Structure 1
Amino acid sequence: MIFIPVYDWIIVPISRRLTQKPFGITMLQRIGIGMVFSVISMVTVALVEMKRLDIAKDHGLVDLPKVTVPMSIWWLAPQYILCGVADVLTIVGLQEFFYDQVPKELRSLGISIYLSIFGSGSFLSTFLISTINKATSRDGHESWFANNLNRAHLDYFYWMLAGLNALGFTAYLYFARSYIYNKGNAI
C-alpha cells in the first residue's frame, strides 16, 4: 500500500524525465522489474530463514519447536518490503497490460485472464508443495515442510522459488522482447 503512492509520485516522474515517455516505463518493463524484485525477495527470504535456523541451532532450540527463536521481528521487514514492491510493479503492470492490450470488446475477457493467473498460481503452488513434501519425506527423512520448523528446510524451498522465479523471468524476457504494443505507444 505504501509503495503505490511512492511509485506514482516519485518513481514515475523521475522515469518520465529519464525516458521522455509519458508513463516513464512501459507496462512490460514494469512487469519485468517486478519480476526481478520477486527473485530478490525470494533470495532474501531464503537468507533470513537460513539465519533463523542457525540461531535455533546456536541456542539449542532445534528440538523445541514451541519455543520462540530469539530473533528480532525486523528481520522480516526487508522481505515484506521487497515482496510488496514486486507485487505493486508486477500485479499492477499485469492488470494494466491485460486491460489495455486487448480490444475494447474483449476487455472483460482480458481482466478474467489476468485474474485466472491467481487461481492457476494457487493450484500450481499446492501441487508443488505436495510434490516436494512427498519427495523430501521419503526413507524417513524430514520433509522440507516438517511440523517442527527448526528441523524443516523452508530455506531450500525459498531457494527453489528464487530459481523458478529467475527461470520465469528469463522466459518473460524472451517473449516480452518481441511483443508489439497494440496501440502503437508503449505505455
Structure 2
Amino acid sequence: MLLSITIWIPFYDRILVPFLAKFTHEPRGLNPKIRMGAGMILSIIAMVVSAIMETIRRDLANSNTPVDMSATWLVPQFVLLGLTKAFNGIGQLEFYYSELPNSMASLVMVMFTVSMAVASLIASLLTNSVDSVTGQGGDVSWLSSDINAGHVDYYYWLLSFLNLLNLLYYLICCRIHRSFSSSERRLSHAVDIEG
C-alpha cells in the first residue's frame, strides 16, 4: 500500500497534473472534490476486489485440496487501497487549504488528523459490532480467528456497501457545497459591483 502511494504521488504530480491541467484548467490537475470522490470510488472497488479474492481463497481452503495461493493475490487490493489513500487524503488536504484562509493552515492538519482518528475509531467499533452480531447464538463470527470457518468475504461486501453509502452522502454534500459556494460568489460579486 505504501509503495503504491510512494509511486503514485510523484507520477500524479509530475506527469498527470501538467497533462490534466490542459484539459481541466485546474492548476492541480483535478479539483480536490473530484480527487476525494475518485478515492471513494477506488475504495469501493478495493473492497469488492478484497471480497472476491477472499471468496476464492476460502473456497479453495474449504475444498479439501491443497491450497497453492501466493501472497501476491493481495497485491491488487493493497495497490487500490494505496491509490484510495493518495486520492482521498491529498484531495482532502487540498480542499481544506482551498476553503480556509492561510492563517488557519495549522487547523487544516488538525482537521485531517482528527478525521483519521475518528475513522479509526469507527472502523474499530464496526469490527467489534460485526464480530458480536454475527457470532451470536453460537454461530461462527464472520471475523472468526479461523478464517476458513469465518466469512471475511461477507465483511468486505459489507464494507463495500458502506463505502457506497458514504459516496452517495459525499455526492449530496458536494451538491450542497456547490450551491452554497455559487450563491456566496454571486453575493460577493454583487457587493463588488455595488461597492
Q: TM-score range by the shorter chain?
A: 0.7 to 0.9
Instruction: Identify which of 25, 29, 32 aligns with 1:20.
Output: 25
Q: Does 1:170 align with 2:168?
A: yes
1:50-89 alignment to 2 at 5 Å? 50-60=55-65, 69-89=67-87
Match of 2:43 in 1: 38
Backbone CA RMSD of aligned residues = 1.7
Partner of 1:65 in structure 2? none
Q: TM-score, normalised by structure 2?
A: 0.84
How far has the Cα of 1:101 moved from its partner? 1.5
Q: Give, in angstroms, the shift of residue 177 of structure 1.
A: 2.4
Q: Contact 1:145/1:154 (CA < 8 Å) preserved in 2?
A: yes
Is the Cα–Cα contact under 8 Å of residues 28 and 176 in structure 1 kept in the other structure? yes
1:130 aligned residue: 128
Within 5 Å, give how 1:112-127 maps onto structure 2: 112-127=110-125
Deviation track 1:64-90 (CA, whole Å, cap 9, x = no partner) reads xxxxx4212221111111111111000
Q: Which of residues 83, 88, 91 is equivalent to 2:89? A: 91
**Partner SS, residue 145 of structure 1:** coil
Unaligned runs of 5+ in 2: 1-5, 186-195
User: 1: distance between equivalents of 2:76 and 2:64?
Assistant: 24
Q: Which one of 157, 160, 163 corresponds to residue 159 of structure 1?
A: 157
Give the deviation of 1:178 after TM superposition: 3.1
Show the counterpart of 2:190: none
Letter in 1 for 2:85: D
SS for the counterpart of 1:2 is helix
Distance 1:71 1:164 in 2: 29
For residues 99 and 20 of structure 1, the distance between their equivalents in structure 2, rounded to whole angstroms, comes to 19
Q: What's the CA shift string for 1:26-75, capped at 9, x where partnerless?
A: 111111111111110111011100010011012357xxxxxxx4212221
Structure 1 contact 30–90 (Cα < 8 Å) conserved: yes
Structure 1 counterpart of 2:148:
150
Bigger radius of gyration among the two = 2
The 2-side partners of 1:3 and 1:119 are apart by 24
Conserved? CA contact 1:99–1:111, under 8 Å: no
Greater shift in the superposed pair: 154-163 or 108-117: 108-117
Give yes or no for contact 1:133–1:145 (8 Å, CA) kept in 2: yes
The normalised TM-score by structure 1 is 0.87
The DSSP-based 3-state class of the residue aligned with 1:17 is: helix
Say which SS state the counterpart of residue 24 (structure 1) adopts: coil
Higher relative contact order (CA 8 A, sep 6+): 1
* Letter paired with 2:15: I
Gaps of 5+ in 1: 62-68
User: Mean alpha-carbon deviation: is it higher for 103-112 or for 113-122?
Assistant: 103-112
